[in-house]
Structure 1
């Protein structure tokens, strides 16, 4: 091994001459010194600032790195800092090094010799290229925070990968705390105070006696258990993992060698009976990560587990809604266990994993999830959210699971008719109109065709990627509509054809139904707590939140029943009136008038009853867009007016409701000072990322949207708990719920709906009680309303 001469300079390394010759046509920047260091940091390549100052990490990314190091308790000057690539690639793109006649491999001999001489106790790999050069591993978003072995050096120095500061600066600042966590791990490893993962006891390939004994002990003395299944092609269970505490687990297989039953029929029945008893045991905390997936498979075998339940995904979502929530990420943040999620999981691939590989993977999953649970439980308690989570979030997930599992009944004949109508009539006509407008056959889904036409023919500035490809997403076209109203009709027709082809046909009317002909989905959440939905684990269904109203005709009640759809009246704008404490707006709501109608009268200086439909719609969109400080161009697009006219309309609204600007300033001040907002229900959101205009707009919407969604969801949970079996809660759409029930029970159930969605849901805001009225319209025979 080379030895370090304290008088050595970077130019004296054996690998220098060859590297210097290869880099003769560009600027080569070497480390300032070669001194022994406990810690070493390896970045990727140089930027313009680094070339100009002949040093590493001195630009914007370097300043952010310095802050990260300082926040983690480290002194930058004590760390040996270097890069893998010691030149600036063209356009700062590593994949363009070849244009300089260079490759990453050209720099590795020097890096190896450099790090061998410095001989650090730990290395921080900053960025994906640095991680790959040091460890051979890829996909840094998965491996960040893990403690890996350095494969570049002969001496196995531990490497801790983390995200590059420049990545955070590209809209990912919410990951700042996690990068800081990685750097703290790096410091702990370097200074020999890192606590390696606690060992755990695992039982794989159990005998029937071992399996029965483990489950029996869990049933009799266990207080918390994590369960997790692995599947064959997402269709059949291969094994179930169980924990009894965070350091002991068993994997109970049901299949071996892909298709062979592991147990005899009698043994399997015995084990399933014990598992059913565990699921039914009161007081035993059942822990899972995205446990809805497991429950769709386990429900027919074990029934639904009795409370208390704890889903680590949704616990983390409640605390940090802006972050990632997959188990790999949670494991990296809340445990010292290395990333393992790329090991075989689902037997859907052509080459099946060996049984032991899958079973050990299953054990790692349940151990990691159980350990994450312990940390998340403590965090929930510290944030004052534990009761909110266990008393509302988890019970409401049970309601959502039932909605997912049952799905929506569909009139398949009408669905086919709608699809054929759009395919054969509406879409061809819309395409023909577009072709006539532009003078040739234009494919609205072709970025090249649309971008070329808009840019070269209509002379509009169309954004382009680094490779020169046009970007013509929906929001880009909407922005062009606001800037170039004379081309509005063409741009709107392009969007119209896209909606018919991609949304109505491609997303909704061709959504795969379940074998029983029902439309299903999987429910998630947005940062405000609003529900989101997508196709389920089997690829069935679609996003139920955004189905166009006219297509909802295909959704019908259960046989012999009708739909009732209670919705909260003017919910978000009503909450906003209380939040900004506007006497004028609150008086309108107390009077029972429609807020948008009155505001329209103010904007257009006419009697509210004389507003045209377009004026009413503009007033409605003005209220919503202004409340959340929508950008000028987007607002102009939304109301269909030129930017200058849209600006005047919005300024008029701000003059009418001066409290709105004060509310925006209050939110900005609170977020800047505390980085946290709390709703009247106690839901909180921590803002960890960059504080820019988009962040503040999101913050303006946080409290009103969260308040509305928790009002409707808590009320829905209460109704679900008291309803008889023949009343079904089918789905929820932000401020309304869809209920299927016998027609003769509509009037009987109406007062319960009003009580739980309205009377019991009043909230205290700014020294005043707010009750959001619930509208319960007449029964209907399909979701649309007929």
Structure 2
């Protein structure tokens, strides 16, 4: 939209953004436990608007308390909305005060909604020659869009003009009200036409032209949906009335009066001190009162960068860029490929960036009618090989492990991985945002990037990247390299300012990238015949369970149908209703069935059937389909930047969820086999989290038990029940084991009672006895909670930060969960750090000494290797020594090693 700055009116839907900020952003509290996260989110959004529209007229509009004309027209309007959360309600007044203090005009009108005020101001502004930007995330506002009115959602940096409204809804802006009247709105409880979805509504309006015409010719619509339309004819006018934004509200202010005032520095400073927006406060004191981002933002949004992107299509262009890359201290690069699966992907093109805003794309294998000439892929890769394989040439990327794997498919071993923006963001705060490039660009750079779907299409119509027009591909791919470089320049100073995080990043996360890459490329050998055999056995077991369930129910039913299960359990068998769905129906989810299964047989049978069905479909039937035809192996993907605690996760296939304690799970592990001449070796840390607890707590009894190599559960039972270790009964040891592991995960007396099958008072007695005998553990837990309250995070032994934003929440359930996290996360996170350090150490040994050993899997606290048969004893000793030396704890780290022809035997 091109317009004179002083004739632009920006209307901010404050209520919409308050709700969205509250639900979309991590909870944030100040030292008094007052929630301020939504205030931070909206204030940051207003700050960005000021920088984007420095001379515009602006108003921030909120819903006024009390009923509106829509409530009078329809008593059930918004009746299904849950009550406003207390933590959200508490932020309304501070936000209003902050908005006014920042100098923004704030509007609220009784009897109408914020939408109606915005609609009225929009119409008046157009009459006065303004162009209008409505800052909102509310789809209803699309009815206001025209040639001089656009919607901007500053929460996700999207913009909606007439074309975008048509694309999103399938109807033009002038038909949005008709569209909304047909589809209804569950949030506002607008009835609409039952069973009429967005596609049907758009089709009807395209066919009939308008809602009035559709209603007049409703008899022409056939089928069940036609019956639904005709049955709704009486209520449709009400739905249309409720969906229509009122544009004639009597207002005391005109658009040209909506001017942002210069804030009073003293008043703003006092408010920021009260809210404890310390980062903003520091900037305020340094800038004399200009509004700045609040506590959740590490620094000002970067200024817009001019972009110069180039397509490298000639040998001369390539030589020029090669010379620049060879002279660069650090360069960003990215690959564009034929597939997301790295084990099958080939390179279509590469992009590079050295300076912000300047990047190049080298197309190599685009293939479509009329495609321009491209450089030869193999020749280009050979010219790049010395650069990419040189460990002294520093490289930067976003999720570089994928690019390393793809380059390996072309015989290039990527070395010199110096930085990865995904890991920089993850180490800074594993919970703050998603760590993909598009999310990071929006979060840190305030930039809306080109998405893959924008150039390749969506769903069934999506084309391979090789068929994307080279000009569009250049804009997309060069931006990837450019944004990655700019993200690094933003994130790296933040890491450098935190020595412990910088060390974790440089010593653990970055060195782990090539380790995981090698493991993924090596893959795991799988016996498909063993899996087929196990699939048949599981199918037979499922049939047995199904018959038993039918007998128990007294009739056949579908064990995979929640609705039929609900009918059988609650309508026919009258089992107690433990929990209800949001729609008020008795729940049949896993936790409910588990609770019922403790008393009733049918829920137990259903649960077992579900578990076996999932095991069979996920592993027995799916794994053979995931074999790579080139290698004959399964190649998983390990994810470094997913779990908040630092643990690795795996997918496609997920090798970390195969049950180890069930017979069925063990039989599936038997299908993971060693190649001829090799054995599988599984090395597992013994009770690592309990050992970390002993180290962190410094409890003398725990330290002594581990130092003497005692059975820790028997030793705990002897302490708690005040008896000699040799006199500990099986039940006492079982109770001690439940306490040992339960307390790590913050288990309450109620949870322990349920697990042990004892009364709550007895379970509480066990916990009290435990803490009396292990006072260091109690002190550690208290200290962890207090540290989290003061700093907002806890740390692992190696400095990884684990943020717990709800630690001061007023909501008791959220606060208690945060307290449990504060206790458990340092142990889980330290365990994750230890096995990562062990993997790096073992991999360096393999790479430097080249023993007949391959690391092929990581599963929680376990590493799995292929070891040549004649090297088993020597290999086991070398692996154990390096794993046990991965951390220097106050108790011994013990690694248990097993070997066999398959994973089941080795574990």
Alignment of 1:708 onto 2:817: no
Correspondence list, 1:194-273, <5 A? 196-204=303-311, 206-219=313-326, 221-234=327-340, 235-258=345-368, 267-273=376-382
- Offset at residue 311 of structure 1 (A): 1.8
- Summarize the Cα distance change of 1:656–1:139 in structure 2 as closer, same or farther, 3 Å threshold: farther
Which residue is equivalent to 1:780? Answer: 900
Question: What is the SS of the residue equivalent to 1:785?
Answer: helix
Indicate the residue corresponding to 1:629 in structure 2: 746
- Distance verdict in 2 for CA 1:77–1:453, change over 3 Å: farther
Preserved CA contact (<8 Å) 1:670 1:677: yes
Instruction: Tell me which of 572, 583, 586 is aligned to 1:467.
Output: 583
Q: How many Å apart are 1:285 and its aligned residue? A: 2.4
Please give the per-residue CA displacement for 1:231-267, whole angstroms capped at 9, x wherever unaligned: 34544433211112222110111233537876567x4
Per-residue deviation, 1:641: 5.4
Kept in 1, the 8 Å contact 2:683–2:897? The answer is yes
Identify if the C-alpha distance between structure 1 residues 635 and 406 changes in structure 2 by more than 3 Å, giving closer, same or farther. farther
Instruction: Give the equivalent residue in structure 1 for 2:489.
Output: 374
Structure 1 counterpart of 2:860:
734
The reply to whether residue 505 of structure 1 matches residue 598 of structure 2 is no
Pairwise CA RMSD: 4.3
- What are the within-5 Å matches in structure 2 for residues 382-401 of structure 1? 382-384=497-499, 385-401=501-517
What is the distance in 2 between the residues matched to 1:315 and 1:236? Answer: 27
Per-residue deviation, 1:679: 1.9
What displacement does 1:752 show? 2.3
Mapped pair 1:64 → 2:87: no
Aligned to 2:802: 685
Alpha-carbon separation, structure 2, partners of 1:576 and 1:318: 23
C-alpha deviation, 1:499, in angstroms: 0.2
> How much has 1:470 moved relative to structure 2?
4.5
Deviation at 1:445, TM superposition (A): 3.0
Q: Is the 8 A contact 1:41 1:126 kept in 2?
A: no
Q: How far apart are the structure 2 equivalents of 1:520 and 1:113?
A: 59
- Does the 8 Å CA contact 1:508/1:542 hold for their aligned counterparts? no
Once the two structures are superposed, residues 724-768 of structure 1 have per-residue CA deviations (whole angstroms, 9 ceiling, x without a partner) of 2520111112222112111221222233223321245213xxxxx
Deviations, residues 289-316 of structure 1 (Å, cap 9, x unaligned): 1222333322122523212332211221
Distance 1:270 1:400 in 2: 28
Name the SS of the counterpart of 1:564 in structure 2: strand
Q: Which residue of 1 aligns with 2:273?
A: none
Question: For 1:537-563, what per-residue CA distance to the aligned partner results, in whole angstroms no more than 9, with x for missing partners?
Answer: xxxx23434444412111112321112
Indicate which of 525, 544, 550 corresponds to 1:409.
525
Distance 1:432 1:645 in 2: 39
> 1:92 maps to what in 2?
none
Deviations, residues 191-248 of structure 1 (Å, cap 9, x unaligned): xx976411122102633321331123212x1111211222345444332111122221
Q: 1:351 to 1:494 in 2, by over 3 A?
A: closer
Secondary structure, aligned partner of 1:244: strand
- 3-state DSSP of counterpart to 1:79: coil
Give the Cα–Cα distance (whole angstroms) in 2 for the partners of residues 747 and 374 of structure 1: 48
**Equivalent residue number for residue 192 of structure 2:** none
Question: 1:349/1:417 Cα in 2 relative to 1: closer, same or farther (>3 Å)?
Answer: same
| Structure 1 residues 86-485: aligned runs within 5 Å | 109-113=119-123, 125=135, 127-129=137-139, 144=155, 146=157, 148=159, 196-204=303-311, 206-219=313-326, 221-234=327-340, 235-258=345-368, 267-301=376-410, 303-322=412-431, 323-341=433-451, 343-344=453-454, 350=461, 352=463, 353-384=468-499, 385-423=501-539, 425-456=540-571, 457-480=573-596, 485=598
Q: Distance in 1 between matches of 2:124 and 2:773?
A: 67
1:572 to 684, 689, 711: 689
Q: Does 1:514 align with 2:628?
A: yes
SS in 2 for 1:567: strand
Assess, with a 3 A threshold, how the Cα gap between structure 1 residues 37 and 390 changes in structure 2: closer, same or farther.
same
Deviations 1:38-84 (A, max 9, x none): 543356x67779999x9xx99753543565688xx754573334589
Contact 2:309/2:474 (8 A) holds in 1: no
Q: CA deviation at 1:666?
A: 1.1
Name the CA shift for 1:613/1:681 in 2 (closer, same or farther; >3 Å): same
Instruction: State the TM-score, normalized to the length of structure 1.
Output: 0.77
Give distance in 2, aligned partners of 1:658 and 1:753.
Answer: 36
d(CA) in 2 for partners of 1:355, 1:116: 41
Alpha-carbon contact 2:534-2:620 (below 8 Å) kept = no
SS of 1:558 mapped into structure 2 = coil
Q: How does 1:32-71 map to 2 (within 5 A)?
A: 39-42=58-61, 60-61=87-88, 63-64=90-91
Deviation at 1:606, TM superposition (A): 6.3
Q: Distance in 2 between matches of 1:455 and 1:179?
A: 56
**Equivalents in 1 of 2:551, 2:279: separation in Å?**
54
Cα pair 1:230 1:346 within 8 Å, conserved? no
Shift of 1:693: 1.5
CA distance in 1, matches of 2:823, 2:143: 44
Structure 2 residue 884 is matched with structure 1 residue 758: yes
Question: 1: distance between equivalents of 2:749 and 2:892?
Answer: 32
Instruction: Measure the CA separation in 1 of the matches of 2:731 and 2:139.
Output: 55
After superposition, the C-alpha distances for 1:693-737 in whole angstroms (9 at most, x for unaligned) are 112212211111122222222122111111225201111122221
Check the 8 A contact 2:68/2:111 in 1, yes or no: no
Partner of 1:18: none
Contact 2:354 2:485 in 1 (8 A): no
CA displacement at 1:572 relative to structure 2: 0.5
Cα distance per residue 1:368-411 (max 9 Å; x no partner): 11111112211111122223212221111211111112211111
Deviation at 1:325, TM superposition (A): 1.0
